[in-house]
Structure 1
Amino acid sequence: MAIHNNILIKIRDMRDSLTPVEKLVADYVLANVEEVPHLSVKALAQLSKTSDASVLRFCKTMGYSGYRSFIVSISASLGSMEEEERDQYTDIRPGDDLSVIIANIALNNSKSIEDTLSVIDRKEVARAVEAIRSCNRLVLFGVGASGIVCRDAEQKFTRINKICHAYTDGHSQLTAATLLGKGDVAVFVSNSGSTADILDSLEIAKKNRAVTIAITKYNKSELADKSDIVLGISTPELTFRSGAMGSRIAMLTVVDMLFAGVASAEYKNVKKHLTKTHNVLAGKYRK
């Protein structure tokens, strides 16, 4: 699986949070990827019906210092285009043969992970691991499918003796956020980054000086803007039929990264705790 920063994925994910003029540039780039590396700033501005300044502003929004570095990144992304076109996300369709469904689900999940690797900031992952290692307790907030991700993290971190709890409904989230303090870490899981209950709890957690970590779609959102550390995922939810499957897999992968990062850094103690919990569970099932 290739690990690279694919600018085309970033443009796709950021599109909905761009200004109307930036969207014009983004849409032209996505529709004419192979042509764009050969265009000047002025040519791209004319073809996208914008201005030179708008194109340069778009490049900066996408994280580039100038047009040249943006074009170099577009060219680098073109190398994987043929494979990307063959391996597109596929939504649930009526009447598909089960063998087709199995293949599509496997492809969608693997592409969710690969696309997430294209956008996630490794430095932010490292900051999150350090924050979790040094915290007094770890508290996770998520609803629906995101709540399931929180429960998975709770199970993992509890097994290595980290004081950890997941809260998956609005009332308990508000209560838990109110009791947070300095030295605690609060992880907020939301694909959209705009879930009202999550944002309410985030505000309280920040007032109580807890370190806040967001696991959310790579996009501009209130959750991403207000959190101390942002771990971006990339996965389009194709329609209501896809049932948040892609985002769940991507979020679970980020949780695994955090858990493995903490476990690796504290391996001696972690191994002891895992051995103890494994033995007690194994003993239970032998009886």
Structure 2
Amino acid sequence: MNGGLVRLREVCETLNPSERKVATFILQHPDQMVQMSVAELAESSGASQAAIVRLCKTMGIKGYQDLKLKVAGDLQEPVTAGYQDIRPNDSISAIIQNVSNNNIQSIRDTMKILEERMVERAVDMLNGAKRIYLFGVGASNLIAMDAQQKLLRINKVCFSFSDPHLQLTSAVMLTPEDAAVFISYSGETKEMVRAAEIAKEKGCQTISITKYGDSTLSRTVDIPLFTSSTDNEIRSGAMASRITQLNVIDILYLGIASRNYEHAVEYLEQSRQAIKRL
């Protein structure tokens, strides 16, 4: 059980001042925090016990003891170099190392905050859907297109549209038999939020893939899935977020394929043969 420090880093900038005091203290002194009671942490951080309780609720954690266990689990892991920003005149060797390490770290951090229970529900939802619609704008649309390509290969009826207006039009056509996946790193992309609202009005089953923390999109859908990345820290565009989103899509795809293993293998072989004969 770990991921406490990752969750705190992801939400720290969005917290109210009293909760941020607690989060900042824990991030700076995690080894001390795991030995503290709620009262001791409140005194040391300069916040109230109520703020600690609210922080746990904001993070989606059961309570203070659960938070302590997650932080303690993080402390048992080997120390890593952490995320590296872009620097002037970096050597190619440094760029190779930094970009690769950032991507690896973002996937590892996502593993800590991706809840198995929610992933299981998402796989069941997609597996049972008559049709799957995939929504994303900009770089997130590339993730949606990748998901469509994968799912079509195992004979799942799915759609992805690059035009935002066409996405909204398709949302109007959704039914309770369908499932829709909305991809937005911020969780605040207005086109995605509006499409998700329309999907909910139509009774469609909905999933979101956003960065960890509270967002309009994650609150709107039935099943919110969260990723971690460095995109709020480094000036490199949607790089690490793209990698973590693709990783989540691969998890969902293989979850569906595993539930339909014999048919999935058959369809994959047929598509492979069709391309091979070109």
Please indicate, yes or no, whether the TM-score normalized by the shorter chain is above 0.5.
Answer: yes
Q: Residue 213 of structure 2 aligns to a residue in which SS? A: coil
Q: Distance in 1 between matches of 2:63 and 2:225?
A: 25
Q: Residue 10 of structure 1 aligns to a residue in which SS? A: helix
* Residue 8 of structure 1 pairs with residue 5 of structure 2: yes
TM-score by length of 1: 0.92
Q: 1:221 deviation in Å?
A: 0.4
Alignment match of 1:88 (pick from 82, 86, 102): 82
Runs of 4+ in 1 over 4 A off after TM superposition: none
AA at the equivalent of 2:9: R
Q: Identical aligned pairs, as a percentage?
A: 40
Q: 1:73 deviation in Å?
A: 2.8
**Number of residue-to-residue matches in the alignment:** 278
Q: Distance in 2 between matches of 1:282 and 1:184?
A: 32
Q: 1:199 to 1:68 in 2, by over 3 A?
A: closer
AA at the equivalent of 1:67: Y
Q: Distance in 2 between matches of 1:219 and 1:73?
A: 17
Alignment match of 2:163 (pick from 150, 166, 169): 169
Q: 1:15 to 1:238 in 2, by over 3 A?
A: closer
Matches within 5 A, 1:58-207: 58-80=55-77, 82-84=78-80, 87-207=81-201
Q: 1:60 deviation in Å?
A: 3.7
Q: Distance in 1 between matches of 2:184 and 2:275?
A: 32
Q: 1:53 to 1:267 in 2, by over 3 A?
A: same
Q: 1:239 deviation in Å?
A: 5.0
Q: Residue 197 of structure 2 aligns to a residue in which SS? A: helix
Q: Distance in 2 between matches of 1:64 and 1:154?
A: 33
Q: 1:24 deviation in Å?
A: 1.4
Q: 1:66 to 1:276 in 2, by over 3 A?
A: closer
Please say if residues 91 and 238 of structure 1, whose CA atoms lie closer than 8 Å, have aligned partners that are also in contact: no
Q: 1:269 deviation in Å?
A: 1.0
AA at the equivalent of 1:164: C
Q: Residue 83 of structure 1 aligns to a residue in which SS? A: coil
Q: 1:55 deviation in Å?
A: 2.1
Matches within 5 A, 1:228-267: 228-239=222-233, 241-267=235-261
Aligned to 1:20: 17
AA at the equivalent of 1:157: L
Aligned to 2:272: 278
* Residue 47 of structure 1 pairs with residue 44 of structure 2: yes
Q: 1:241 deviation in Å?
A: 2.8
Consecutive unaligned residues in structure 2, runs of 5 or more: none
Q: 1:168 deviation in Å?
A: 2.7
AA at the equivalent of 2:65: R
Q: 1:240 deviation in Å?
A: 6.5
Consecutive unaligned residues in structure 1, runs of 5 or more: none
Q: 1:99 deviation in Å?
A: 1.1
Q: 1:77 to 1:148 in 2, by over 3 A?
A: same
Q: 1:65 deviation in Å?
A: 4.0
Q: 1:58 deviation in Å?
A: 2.2
AA at the equivalent of 2:34: P
Q: Deviations over 1:226-277 (max 9, x none)?
A: 1101111011214573111000000000000011011111011111111111
Please say if residues 7 and 74 of structure 1, whose CA atoms lie closer than 8 Å, have aligned partners that are also in contact: yes
Q: 1:275 to 1:100 in 2, by over 3 A?
A: same
Please say if residues 2 and 73 of structure 2, whose CA atoms lie closer than 8 Å, have aligned partners that are also in contact: no
Please say if residues 136 and 192 of structure 2, whose CA atoms lie closer than 8 Å, have aligned partners that are also in contact: yes
Q: Distance in 1 between matches of 2:113 and 2:65?
A: 20
